């Protein structure tokens, strides 16, 4: 994607300790290279720690604590995976409410790997064609989504992918979807 494609777009990245490192860092870098401003939103301030496949990874600075974040200030939402990260977030009512706000406002959302757990908890999975880490397929079907095993799926204003290997396709689809939002503004 050309640099500046997302210039002026502000993207919230909702995450907490245990996010899959590559699923936050690589999409964030791609979004920023395309011109978007990104902010990491987390239930706590300071830093959150990533998970790098089988062990703890890098820490990332939190830009804004969840309690002071307002979804109205953002144009799009990124939900990285990792097992721990979305499992913790879906148990935090403020995190679920924050994610739900993007769906209610018809803003684009990108979720990868286990990130769709937050989509499920927000009540927004119903009626969507989605993909995820394979172990979430029953959860997504039970939530009313159509689960498919594809590297990236775009359904309306929702883009989903399965795993770190899908990040290049996920990044392209996310930038394209978020770019349509920028053009619509």
Which of 34, 96, 112, 113 does the annotation list as catalytic?
113
- Catalytic residue flag (residue 33): no
Catalytic residue chosen out of the listed positions 114, 128, 157, 163 = 114
Q: How many CB atoms lie within 10 A of CB 26?
A: 18
DSSP string computed for 4-49? TTTTT-EEEEE--TTEEHHHHHHHHHHHHHTT-EEEEEESSSSEEE
Closest CA to 63 of 53, 74, 54, 51: 74
Rg (CA), the chain: 14
Is-catalytic flag, 128?
no
Encoding tokens for residue 71? 């979804």
Give the whole-angstrom CA distance, residue 163 versus residue 167.
7
Integer Cα distance of 151 and 165 in angstroms:
8
Taking the C-alpha atoms of residue 67 and residue 129, their distance in angstroms, rounded to an integer, is 31
Q: Are 26 and 90 in contact (CB under 8 A)?
A: no
Catalytic residues: 113-114
């Amino acid at each position: 994607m050309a640099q500046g494609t997302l210039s002026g777009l502000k993207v919230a990245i909702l995450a907490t300790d245990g996010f899959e490192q590559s699923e936050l860092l690589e999409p964030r870098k791609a979004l920023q290279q395309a011109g978007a401003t990104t902010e990491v939103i987390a239930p706590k301030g300071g830093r959150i720690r990533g998970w790098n496949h089988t062990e703890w990874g890098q820490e990332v600075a939190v830009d804004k604590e969840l309690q002071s974040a307002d979804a109205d200030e953002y144009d799009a939402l990124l939900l990285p995976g990792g097992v721990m990260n979305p499992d913790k977030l879906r148990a935090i009512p403020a995190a679920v409410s924050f994610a739900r706000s993007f769906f209610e406002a018809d803003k684009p959302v990108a979720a990868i790997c286990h990130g769709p757990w937050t989509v499920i908890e927000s009540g927004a999975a119903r009626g969507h064609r989605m993909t995820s880490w394979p172990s979430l397929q029953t959860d997504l079907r039970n939530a009313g989504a159509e689960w498919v095993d594809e590297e990236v799926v775009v359904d309306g204003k929702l883009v989903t992918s399965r795993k770190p290997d899908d990040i290049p396709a996920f990044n392209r689809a996310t930038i394209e979807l978020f770019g349509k939002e920028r053009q619509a503004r």
